[in-house]
C-alpha cells in the first residue's frame, strides 16, 4: 500500500495545509495490495484500542510496522500472543465488516508512524443497518474490551457492569439442528461439564459451524437460563472471547444488579 502510505505522509507533514482526499483513501483501502493487521490471543479478534475517544482497529501499509505494534501490545499483557494477518483486496469488505460487527467504529492506519484515523463507517455499513440479522456490536466490543483489560490488569467494575447490562438485554443466537429445535450443540471440558454454545452474531457462529450443520434460533438470556438448567451453563462465542457462564452467573445476569463478576 505504498500509494496510501505516501498520501498519509504528505497529509501529516503538511501540518494541516493539505486535506486528505477521503474518497481516494477509501478506494485504496479497498483495492491496494499490502494491508496488514494483527489479532490477539485472549479474544481471537483484532486488538481494540482507542483513538480520539473512538474504538479503533489498527491496520498497516508495512508488515514490519504491524509486527512492531503487535509486540508492544503483547508486552503489556503476560501470556498474550498475537497473529499477523495480511488482508488481500478480495478479503477487504469481509475484514471491514468483521470490524463493524465487533463494535469498532474507527480504523487507524500506521499507528506509531505518520498515522491517520478514519471512521470505519465511511468504508462499510453499520451492522444495525443489516435488516433481519442478529448483531450485537456493542456487546462484542464490551466483552472484548473487558477480556483485554483483564489480561492487562486494568479491568474495572464499570467495564464489567456494562458487559453484564448488555448481556441481560441482548438477543443472541442459540444454534439448533435443522429438523429439531430442541437439539442444540454442546461443548464439554476435561471435568465432564457440558455447556450450550451461544453466539452474538452469525460470524461467530460460522467460526464454530463452518459446515453449516445448524440453523439460527434467537434466544435471550432469560430463555437460556431455563434451557441451561439441564447442563452446566453456556459458553458465548467459544471460538472468540469464550465467555463461560455457569447457571448461577446466568441467573445473576438475568437479574442484573446482584454484583456478578463475569470472568472466565
Does this model's pTM top 0.85? My answer is yes
pLDDT tens digits, 165-183: 999 999 999 999 887 778 8
CA angle (169 as vertex; 167, 173 as ends), nearest 5: 70
Q: What is the mean pLDDT of residues 13-35?
A: 91
Across the chain, how many H-helices and E-strands are there? 9, 15
d(CA 249, CA 197): 15
Res 261: pLDDT: 53
Which helix (H) or strand (E) element contains residue 98? helix 92-101
Binned at pLDDT 50, 70 and 90, residue 138 comes out as: very high
pLDDT tens digits, 183-218: 899 999 999 999 999 999 999 999 999 988 999 999
What domains does the chain contain, in order, with CATH numbers? 2-129 (3.40.1350.90), 137-254 (3.40.1350)
- 192 versus 15: which is more confidently predicted? 192
Cβ–Cβ contacts within 10 Å for residue 233, how many? 20
Angle between helices 22-31 and 2-13 (to 10 degrees): 150
List beta partners, residue 152.
none
Binned at pLDDT 50, 70 and 90, residue 264 comes out as: very low
Q: What is the mean pLDDT of residues 78-105?
A: 96
Assess whether pLDDT exceeds 50 at residue 241.
Answer: yes
List beta partners, residue 199.
173
Q: What is the mean pLDDT of the chain?
A: 92
Assess whether pLDDT exceeds 90 at residue 259.
Answer: no
Amino acid at each position: 500500500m505504498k500509494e496510501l502510505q505516501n498520501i498519509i505522509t504528505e497529509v501529516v507533514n503538511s501540518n494541516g495545509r493539505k486535506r486528505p482526499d477521503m474518497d481516494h483513501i477509501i478506494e485504496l483501502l479497498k483495492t491496494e495490495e499490502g494491508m496488514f493487521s494483527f489479532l490477539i490471543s485472549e479474544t481471537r479478534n483484532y486488538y481494540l484500542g482507542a483513538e480520539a475517544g473512538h474504538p479503533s482497529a489498527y491496520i498497516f501499509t508495512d508488515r514490519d510496522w504491524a509486527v512492531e505494534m503487535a509486540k508492544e501490545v503483547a508486552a503489556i499483557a503476560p501470556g498474550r500472543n498475537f497473529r499477523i494477518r495480511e488482508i488481500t483486496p478480495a478479503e477487504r469488505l469481509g475484514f471491514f465488516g468483521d470490524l463493524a460487527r465487533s463494535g469498532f467504529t474507527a480504523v487507524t492506519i500506521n499507528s506509531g508512524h505518520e498515522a491517520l484515523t478514519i471512521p470505519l463507517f465511511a468504508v462499510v455499513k453499520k451492522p444495525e443497518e443489516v435488516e433481519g440479522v442478529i448483531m450485537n456490536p456493542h456487546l462484542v466490543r464490551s466483552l472484548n474490551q473487558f477480556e483485554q483489560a483483564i489480561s492487562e490488569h486494568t479491568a474495572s467494575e464499570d467495564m464489567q457492569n456494562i458487559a453484564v447490562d448488555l448481556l441481560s438485554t441482548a438477543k443472541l443466537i442459540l444454534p439448533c439442528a435443522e429438523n429439531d429445535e430442541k437439539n442444540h450443540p454442546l461443548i464439554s471440558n476435561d471435568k465432564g461439564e457440558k455447556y450450550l454454545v451461544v453466539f452474538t452474531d452469525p460470524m461467530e457462529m460460522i467460526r464454530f459451524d463452518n459446515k453449516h450443520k445448524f440453523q439460527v434460533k434467537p434466544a435471550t438470556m432469560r430463555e437460556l437460563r431455563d434451557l441451561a438448567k439441564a447442563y452446566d451453563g453456556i459458553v458465548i462465542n467459544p471460538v472468540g472471547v469464550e465467555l463461560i457462564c455457569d447457571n448461577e452467573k446466568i441467573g445473576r445476569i438475568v437479574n442484573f444488579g446482584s454484583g456478578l463478576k463475569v470472568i472466565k
